[in-house]
Chain A
């Protein structure tokens, strides 16, 4: 396993997580659990943790998460100022992994509001009014929400495929999804698919097409980095799931990408185990989240062999 991969994490005071630990992660990690158990929040915490080189990265990660969650509200009320709101949601948040330690707190010292950061043991205390809110984007850390990426993001990520001359790989996959689609291109700064010798904008197709393009382009863009995919099977017909997992396992291994993804679907989990077994890819895990009697969230990490065994016995692994 690559050195940059997250193997374990401790999360405190972040959304539904009060005091949570999980360990044993692999290169590709699928997360399951009941509604509101924190599957997406878990990925968000890991996302913040891997953005901990400096305050600009940290700010960017919290900003992104707020944008992902508030997308619809922002569209409806574009003038809302989210500048400090996205930081406040992370007040007193601690994430500690084998790679980074991140702690953020909003303090009031002598009636002055301050931001306190502890990023991998580097302490920073800044007056709120003097905080720049400047951001630093880490290009190979990508979060795909359940709607897929925006047009600009797809175009940007697609360049990573072009650089490697892997366009046929994406075209081939899209043709498997819908046999009418013969090619994908960016024409006049718009992602388009070719059907019956004519190009149509991706927005004209179903969610599955956009989601699949988002995943594949992001895998290439995230080389030597991290990819987070919320509801990976969203809009994808069950007959395509094996193909989707084959691509995720294949490209993530080739390009050294650590993947975290969520699902609610039994078919998706079964497909994941089936394809991993077929490819003999043992660097996978399944992370099951559930609540204990005190309503605190706990996790069980199933490594490759155990997951295969649980699936073969038809045991449920989608939360408790």
Chain B
């Protein structure tokens, strides 16, 4: 079973995303910001990180950069999600595999996760 880490400060969004991914057979871990996300990445083997761009304490760009700087996390694919446009996100971090503009439908998320994980 593949493990997906979802990092988002909106609990209401995480609950739905996690439930949908679990229904698809993925094991889901969740975190409220980049710092908590890094802690989860250190504790468990993660196959994919789904990360929100704007978060308190440590945002998605900072988390993405921290992952790319760590040899053990560098190859984990990232799906970046944001309510702001992709061009703004790309200015700060471009090392993601796929981008989802919020609000998105669950089907779009599932399709993207399947595509990224092969």
Do A and B originate from a single complex?
A: no
